[in-house]
Amino acid sequence: MTRPGSRDDSQTQTLERTESKRPRLWRVLLLNDDYTPMDFVVMVLERYFRKSEQEAQLIMLAVHHKGQGVAGVYTRDVAETKVAQVTQHAGQEGYPLLAVAEPEGE
């Protein structure tokens, strides 16, 4: 049934979106350990998470005292890349520093 001025949608259907407009964000967490030097963790936060030296110190100390802390929040791909970069750099130095990504809101 096509009225003048309306579009005939009998042939064409538009699928409803199933993705939300804004992608879910992922937290990158740093985990505490007994061996990675504090200075290395601060450098990681500055270099890979673009924190100022002061912010980096605060986050590092929070992780040291509480066991884990949020280094940054990103889309999934970016978060996974940060995890890979940190893990690779720490491993290269022989440090066991661990970073993990987890979705926000869980």
Compare residues 11 and 35 and give the one whose CB is closer to ligand TYC.
Answer: 35
Q: How far is residue 71 from each of residues 14, 50, 65, measured CA to CA in Å?
A: 40, 9, 15
Token couple for 34: 């007994």
Least distance to ligand TYC from the beta carbon of 99, Å? 8
Least distance to ligand TYC from the beta carbon of 45, Å? 9
How many CA atoms are closer than 13 Å to the CA of 98, on its beta-carbon side? 8
Binding mask 21-60 for ligand TYC (x = CB under 6 A): ---------xxxxx-xxx--x------------------x
Asked whether position 63 contacts ligand TYC by CB under 6 A, the answer is: yes
Least distance to ligand TYC from the beta carbon of 13, Å? 51
State the Cα–Cα distance between residues 52 and 47, nearest whole angstrom: 9
State the Cα–Cα distance between residues 86 and 60, nearest whole angstrom: 14
Q: For the chain, what is the largest distance between any 2 Cα atoms, rounded to a whole number of angstroms?
A: 75
Site residues, ligand TYC (CB under 6 A): 30-34, 36-38, 41, 60, 63-64, 97
